[in-house]
């Protein structure tokens, strides 16, 4: 199976499973999945977040998702339990579609590692 086809199949499977579990079947978009990764990484699953915290959750997710690609490295947990990352390498300049593909690849890999999908 071509790499693009496999990514598409896995992305559809992942969003279907997550949508059923977290959105009453309404399809989650890329940003929503990134947010869920941030909540998962923070580990504070059963609380409500303020608007600025939601932005921080998405930042945590992006750092964690791009860590295996060598762009970020985990640094420390602060006193409130929030993970912090440091930039190791500048992200390449990508077009919007290329950014989307990179993030989908990283998200699919993350959920493969967590054995949520196969």
Tell me the per-residue pLDDT of 49-71, one tens digit each, with 9 for 90 and over. 999 999 999 999 999 999 999 99
* Residue 39 token pair: 């909540």
pTM of the model: 0.91
For residue 4, pLDDT over 90 is answered with no
What is the arithmetic mean of pLDDT over 105-114? 96
Cα dihedral 70, 71, 77, 81, rounded to 10, equals -110
CA distances from 22 to 12, 15, 29, 62, 78 (A): 15, 10, 12, 20, 28
For residue 1, pLDDT over 90 is answered with no
For residue 25, pLDDT over 80 is answered with no
Q: To the nearest whole percent, how much of the chain has pLDDT over 70?
A: 99
């Amino acid at each position: 199976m071509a790499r693009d086809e496999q990514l598409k199949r896995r992305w559809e499977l992942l969003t279907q499973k997550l949508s059923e579990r977290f959105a009453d079947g309404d399809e989650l978009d890329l940003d929503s999945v990134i947010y869920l990764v941030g909540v998962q990484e923070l580990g504070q699953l059963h609380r409500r977040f303020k608007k600025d915290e939601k932005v921080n959750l998405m930042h945590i997710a992006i750092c964690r998702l791009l860590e295996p690609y060598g762009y970020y490295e985990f640094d420390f947990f602060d006193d409130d339990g929030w993970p912090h990352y440091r930039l190791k390498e500048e992200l390449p300049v990508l077009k919007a579609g290329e950014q989307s593909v990179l993030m989908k690849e990283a998200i699919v890999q993350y959920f493969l590692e967590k054995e949520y999908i196969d």
